Structure 1
């Protein structure tokens, strides 16, 4: 059995390139969830924000607009192609002549699990970036150390796979054609790592956070303008793409994609349920 790929290699390889290419589409699909995150984070003018796993910069750029010129945003990720897209978006916005005063954004290629951040941030936020830590407890403890006393944490992570039809509809269709993969080891990096909200709250408390709250967020997200577009999205992004990536038999792959297409509702835009946790917490002091 091949050695598992590291998260750094994973997000700097084909997956990172693909997510960079699909940046606009992904931001559109996840927009209702991003809005829920930013509303729950409660950004204030003048704050210093740390965006953990910033990807192509959607949340970092939105935060920069909300905290304004008196604030600052540090956007950190391990993915070079995604950071490059974030920087390019920031430069394009700066050159657009937009009247809104944005905070400066520092784009840092680093691993938030271990990077020695200055303890100066008012808020650490993340949209689906925290599920991929190698070791969650020390990673969250390091993020806590990046926050000043009284600082806040707010992030989105996925709830259980069966609660997320936007993934599970396509996954069940693929598994009607190809064998199910071996289960991942417990607490290994992956999108549904924090499906147990009670366990997640306990983890954050052990990492040194106080007033931890884990609230359910449910939204319908549009994964495609029609069934064909939704199928392309479903087999390109996330766990379903992993099921298809290593198939050597092109006919088997075509059958799996056809099964996904048959499972998609027709008659217009495809909207499926997405279920997340919005986790918030404070640093004591």
Structure 2
């Protein structure tokens, strides 16, 4: 059996990250490399956001945490769309998004490198703000949503999808739980710390938005069926999440042991050559009050 060295025994789960270095280093490059796989996986969420947002009145859209640009570009392709602007802290992801927009000739799609919590947006520039899993990482979410609201025209809308709790998303937690005893990690607990599950508590999200000046707030549970072919699953579990960020730094024997544990943990999700699972999320909608 592989030996677990002391460097792994003291590791603890932490949702807090320094966003820019993380997303411009290994994590950002992993998301950039896996853009086609992740777009296929998260396609249903972009469609939900667009269906919940698109009206004849909405032309100019701001996409928070746009990543490689999937939802920004989807809006830009819509007939009658105006300016579609994505913002993200990750330059590797933005480079992919910009190449995609150029390749499609989508001149109405543009991308900004920056933190939406602190970025100086031009006031009242957009009809709507959207986000696909891009708003859970703010260190001061109330300040962030107040800043974002300033960029939205009166009566403009917010539509986003965020994760519900860890316990409701066993697929998303399977890798961490399988690797934890091998790497000396303590089991993660739900918390308000910035990270994937920071908005698990709907009441907290409502309070954040209300304190930031939004009204007409609606937070509805959605359970979205997702599917990953077995080949994509193997890549996903080895490249994504905390385990994916850790694997390259492990000595060979321990890495092999962790990979076996990962494959065993995800085997229960696989039937007929693909992993099938539900993603438990909140569909969050709100409005910038009219004048």
- TM-score band by shorter chain is 0.7 to 0.9
Q: Which runs of 4+ in 1 moved over 6 A?
A: 1-4
- Higher mean C-alpha deviation, range 111-120 or range 55-64: 111-120
| Offset, 1:259 | 1.4
Match of 1:206? Answer: 211
TM-score, normalized by length of structure 2? 0.86
1:235-250 to 2 correspondences below 5 Å: 235-242=238-245, 244-245=246-247, 248-250=250-252
Q: How far apart, CA to CA, are the structure 1 residues paired with 2:175 and 2:260?
A: 10
Match of 1:35? Answer: 47
- Higher mean C-alpha deviation, range 179-188 or range 124-133: 179-188
| Offset, 1:267 | 3.5
Match of 2:182? Answer: 177
Alpha carbons of 1:215 and 1:284: their partners in 2 closer, same or farther (altered >3 Å)? same
| Offset, 1:86 | 0.7
TM-score, normalized by length of structure 1? 0.88
Q: How far apart, CA to CA, are the structure 2 residues paired with 1:137 and 1:199?
A: 11
The runs of 5 or more residues in structure 2 that have no matched partner are 1-9
Alpha carbons of 1:109 and 1:163: their partners in 2 closer, same or farther (altered >3 Å)? same
Checking the alignment, whether the CA contact within 8 Å between 2:218 and 2:284 is kept in structure 1 is yes
CA RMSD of aligned residues (A): 2.4
Match of 2:225? Answer: 220
SS of the residue 1:55 aligns to: coil
Q: Deviations 1:101-153 (Å, cap 9, x if unpaired)?
A: x6611211121111121222110001111011121110010001111110000
Query: How many corresponding residue pairs?
Result: 274
The runs of 5 or more residues in structure 1 that have no matched partner are 95-101
Checking the alignment, whether the CA contact within 8 Å between 1:12 and 1:80 is kept in structure 2 is yes
Checking the alignment, whether the CA contact within 8 Å between 1:73 and 1:103 is kept in structure 2 is no
Match of 1:59? Answer: 71
2:100 is aligned with 1:89: yes
Q: How far apart, CA to CA, are the structure 1 residues paired with 2:281 and 2:22?
A: 23
SS of the residue 2:167 aligns to: helix
| Offset, 1:67 | 5.5
| Offset, 1:154 | 0.7
Checking the alignment, whether the CA contact within 8 Å between 1:167 and 1:240 is kept in structure 2 is no
Alignment equivalent of 1:274, drawn from 276, 279, 290: 279
Checking the alignment, whether the CA contact within 8 Å between 2:37 and 2:232 is kept in structure 1 is no
| Offset, 1:194 | 0.4
1:119-158 to 2 correspondences below 5 Å: 119-158=124-163
SS of the residue 1:90 aligns to: helix
